[in-house]
Structure 1
Amino acid sequence: MYQTIESFVSEYEHERTLTLNLLTALTDASLSKEVAPGYRTLGSLAWHLVPSGGILSPTGLRFETTAEQNAPASASEIALAYEKTSQSLIDAVKKQWTDAALQESATIYGQEWTKGFTLAVFLKHEIHHRGQLTILMRQAGLPVSGVYGPTKEEWAAMGMDSPG
Structure 2
Amino acid sequence: MYRKIDDFIKDWKVNCAGTIAIMESITEDKKHVSIVEGHNSLEFLSWHLTNAPSFFFGLIGQPLNVQLNPSTPPQTIKDIIYEYKKVSDEVVKNVKNLKDESLEKEVDMLGKPTPIGEILRSLVDHQTHHRAQMQVLLRQAGLPVPGVMGPTKEQSKA
User: In which range does the TM-score fall when normalised by the shorter chain?
Assistant: over 0.9
* Long gaps (5+) in structure 1: 158-164
Establish whether residue 144 from structure 1 lines up as the match of residue 132 from structure 2: no
Report the equivalent of 1:161: none
Structure number with greater Rg is 1
Q: CA deviation at 1:71?
A: 2.4
* Long gaps (5+) in structure 2: none
Find the aligned partners of 2:154 and 2:15 in 1 and give their Cα distance.
Answer: 21
Find the aligned partners of 1:64 and 1:21 in 2 and give their Cα distance.
Answer: 24
Counterpart contact for 1:58–1:108, Cα < 8 Å: yes
2:59 maps to amino acid? P
Find the aligned partners of 1:146 and 1:64 in 2 and give their Cα distance.
Answer: 31
Establish whether residue 73 from structure 1 lines up as the match of residue 75 from structure 2: yes
Counterpart contact for 1:51–1:65, Cα < 8 Å: no
TM alignment of 1:69-108, pairs within 5 A: 69=70, 70-94=72-96, 96-108=97-109
Q: CA deviation at 1:128?
A: 0.2
How much identity, in percent, do the aligned residues show? Answer: 29
Q: CA deviation at 1:51?
A: 3.8
3-state secondary structure, aligned to 1:73: coil
Q: TM-score, normalised by structure 1?
A: 0.90
Report the equivalent of 2:50: 50
Report the equivalent of 1:133: 134
Cα deviation, 1:11-31, whole Å, max 9, x if unaligned, reads: 111111111111111111111
Q: Give the number of equivalent residue pairs.
A: 156
3-state secondary structure, aligned to 2:114: strand
Q: CA deviation at 1:125?
A: 0.4
